[in-house]
Amino acid sequence: MDADSPRLPTTVRVSLSAAERAVGADESDIWQHEADEIVDGKYRLVRPLGRGGMAEVWLAVHVTLKTELAIKFLSVSLTGDPTRSRTVLERFRFEAQISARLGARTRHIVAVHDAGVHDDIPYLVMEYIRGRTLFAEVREKGPIDPRRFADMLDQIADALTVAHDMGIVHRDLKPSNVMLLDDPGAELTVKVADFGIAKALHGDLGLDRPRETEADVMLGSPNYMSPEQLSSPLAVDARADVWALGVLAYEVLTDWPPFQGNTIAELIVAVSTRDFEPATEVRRSLPRGLDGWFSRALAKEPARRFTSIREMVRAYRDALAAPPPAPAKASPARRPAALVAVAVACLGTLAGATALAWRLLGGPRAEPEAARHLSPGVRGALQELALRPPPATAAPPAATAPPPAVAPAGEPAPSAAATASARPRSTQPRPGADGGAPRATATAKPAPPTVPRRRKEIDKSEIL
């Protein structure tokens, strides 16, 4: 059972990822525990909740207080690279200290109550919460209602605001790190988990800060990482969490990720250079005001994003309350000029994109100062994608009139639509209105490879 399994009933399911991400381990490196085992004379293990490559989580009962808790044990191979093992231990301790301090300031962060070492194995004790991840909720029930998500957003924002005010950046916000409490008779309660790769922006927190991550290592889940986080973990501030929350919102409101790729390289290129499809085109029932909200949340340049999580939440509620815009009436006399403008913009975009790729990949006029900010991992991914041979294409068939579209009984025939964009958009298939099949598009190119609709997110947080 993996860390994202919806069958795990507790928040600690998602806490597994902090240790799993840091260092790979063989199955033989996992320390096996047993039911009724007593940990440090205080906790009795009841049953396992889940196990990952670097951690094992158990339901436990406090021997004296008889309260249920969750214990995460870190399993580190001491025969491996001592430097990396030490880094993992430092991050594990830092996670415990951050979570304990933040959990005392807000009820919307999974709290850590204790930490220690049992038989040479580090562990931390967390609150045990019956619930499910937001990832599992969407996977089972489909996209979230935008007004219900407003309540979730308030609570996620409360957690992140407390962290940011303390100088902590989460760096790994995603649906599988957001827990919904399983209590049908109570109000919705949301908690943010897993500060395993959090970053402290300054050193006066009174915590045991881990050593700085190397510049050639990417930390986080690539699907939710901002362009600057993909380039270097050292260039990250609170605006990276704004981006991640924007990606999370897009995904849970549309049941479709804004950026996709079949490989890490393709995903990096999509996040760094492509626009996302407007959310209201993926799910047409969404309020139109959300398109502008997503444009700010997912701006490539950090300076163009919301300045804080608080501002982000206020703007979301304003977008829900805004009246729908009146449809624009195009003047027939101006349509040719508009089409010419679109064509010119597309040509300019193509030339600019080509020049950008040429510079990044080391063409004759490459700019070292621009490439200097890319980590070796990112440069390697871009080079892999650029050097990949183009797919073979069949010769175009002779021009013939296309047969009329045939729709299932009771449904209108789909219409083809050609769209133009000021910047290249993702070529991955997406669902139609409200999660249906992808809409038809008129194109002279062969269709891209099909991507499964609910792909498992690329969730390796250390890419060398």
User: Model confidence over 43-96: pLDDT tens digits?
Assistant: 999 999 877 657 788 999 999 999 999 999 987 654 456 666 777 788 888 888
Exposed/middle/buried for 283, CB within 10 Å: 0-12, 13-18, 19+? buried
Task: Please state, for a pLDDT cut of 90, what percent of the chain lies above it.
Answer: 42
172 is catalytic: yes
Show me where the domains of the chain are located: 12-127, 133-322+458-463
Looking at residue 218, its pLDDT comes to 65
Domain at 133-322+458-463, CATH homologous superfamily:
Transferase(Phosphotransferase) domain 1 (1.10.510.10)
The whole-number average pLDDT for the span 100-105 is: 93
Catalytic residue among 4, 158, 172, 459: 172
Looking at residue 387, its pLDDT comes to 56
Beta strands 112-118; 121-127: pairing state: antiparallel
- pLDDT bucket at 430, cuts 50 / 70 / 90: low
* Structure confidence by residue, pLDDT tens digits, 215-238: 456 677 899 999 999 887 777 999
The whole-number average pLDDT for the span 302-324 is: 94
Radius of gyration of the chain (CA): 24
The whole-number average pLDDT for the span 448-452 is: 43
- pLDDT bucket at 212, cuts 50 / 70 / 90: low
- pLDDT bucket at 379, cuts 50 / 70 / 90: low
Highest-scoring range by mean pLDDT, 52-61, 124-133, 337-346, 368-377: 124-133
Quote the pTM value.
Answer: 0.67
- pLDDT bucket at 272, cuts 50 / 70 / 90: very high
SS3 content of the chain, % helix, strand, coil (to 5): 40, 15, 45
Which CATH number is associated with domain 12-127?
Answer: 3.30.200.20
- Is position 329 annotated in a ligand binding site? no
What span, in angstroms and rounded, lies between the C-alpha atoms of 237 and 199? 8
